[in-house]
A and B are shown apart, each in its own frame.
Chain A
Amino acid sequence: RKEVEQDPGPFNVPEGATVAFNCTYSNSASQSFFWYRQDCRKEPKLLMSVYSSGNEDGRFTAQLNRASQYISLLIRDSKLSDSATYLCVVNPGISNMLTFGGGTRLMVKP
C-alpha cells in the first residue's frame, strides 16, 4: 500500500465548477500536511498547508481528518489557470522529510 494515495484523475470540469480531491495517508504518526501544485513539465510548488481546523486561501479550502487519515482540497469557481496536477504531501514525522502522493490531474475546460 502506498503511503499517500490519490485518485490520479483526470478530473475534467467546466470553468466555474467546484471540484474536490481527496487523499489518504497510511502513517498515523504523520505530523504535517500540504498540497503542492505541479504544472505540466514544471517543478512542484507549495499551494497550501493543511491544518486540523481547516484553512482557506481564496477559492481553495483544505481540510484534514486525522481520525480517518485523509486530506481534502476544494476548489471553488474553477479557472482555466487551475489546470494542473495537485500533489498531496505528508511529513511522516521525520524532520524535514516529505512523502508525495502520485498526484491528481485537473483539467478545467472553457
Chain B
Amino acid sequence: NAGVTQTPKFRVLKTGQSMTLLCAQDMNHEYMYWYRQDPGMGLRLIHYSVGEGTTAKGEVPDGYNVSRLKKQNFLLGLESAAPSQTSVYFCASTYPGGSYEQYFGPGTRLTVT
C-alpha cells in the first residue's frame, strides 16, 4: 500500500515550457487535491476533484489545469511555466465525510528559471 505518490520529485523548467505532474493514490479515495507551498504562505489549494471526471478551482488556479480521468490519478498541468510557479507542489487525497484528514504525497519541487 503505497498511499499517495507523486512524480516527478524534482524538476527544473525554463519559462514558457510545459509539464504535467502526476499524483496517484491506492486508497480508493474519492477526493483529491493539488496544493502549492511557498515560504511563509502555507499550503494554498490550486484545484481539487470530488470524483472521477470532475474538477473544480481552488484558491490559486490561474496558470494550471487538471484532469481526473481515473479515480486513482489526478494530473496537474502547467501549459506555459512562469518563475512565479516555482514552488513545492503537494497532492493529497481523502474520502468523503469522516475525519477530514487528508493524506499527502511526498511533494514535487519545481523551479522555473
Q: Digit string of A59-101 for contact with B (CB within 8 Å is 1, else 0)? A: 0000000000000000000000000000100010001111011
Interface of A is mostly: loop
Give the residue among B31, B43, B50, B99 with the most A Cβ atoms within 10 A.
Answer: B43
CA separation between A49 and B97, bound complex, in Å? 15
Give the residue among A43, A49, A100 with the most B Cβ atoms within 10 A.
Answer: A43
Q: Say whether, besides A43-B104, A43-B105, A45-B104, A96 and B96 are in contact (CB < 8 Å).
A: yes
List of B residues within 8 angstroms of A98 by Cβ? 100, 102
CA separation between A41 and B99, bound complex, in Å? 25
Contact B96 A43 (CB under 8 A): no
CA separation between A34 and B41, bound complex, in Å? 18
Q: Which of B31, B43, B107 touches A96 (beta carbons < 8 Å)? A: B31
Interface residues on A, range: 20 to 34
User: Is B25 close to A, CB under 8 A?
Assistant: no
Within 8 A of A (CB), among B47-100: 48, 50, 90, 94, 96-97, 99-100
List of A residues within 8 angstroms of B48 by Cβ? 97
Q: Digit string of B24-50 for contact with A (CB within 8 Å is 1, else 0)? A: 000000010001000011111100101
Q: Say whether, besides A43-B90, A43-B105, A43-B106, A102 and B97 are in contact (CB < 8 Å).
A: no
List of B residues within 8 angstroms of A8 by Cβ? 40
- A55 CB to closest chain B CB (Å) equals 13
Q: Say whether, besides A43-B105, A43-B106, A103 and B100 are in contact (CB < 8 Å).
A: no
- B104 to chain A: closest residue by CB: A43
List of A residues within 8 angstroms of B104 by Cβ? 43-45
- A74 CB to closest chain B CB (Å) equals 21
Residues of A within 8 A of B (CB): 2, 4, 8, 32, 34, 41-46, 49, 87, 91, 95-98, 100-103
Q: A96-B50, A100-B44 are in contact. List 8 more A-B contacts (CB 8 A).
A: A4-B42, A42-B106, A43-B107, A45-B104, A87-B43, A95-B96, A100-B42, A102-B41
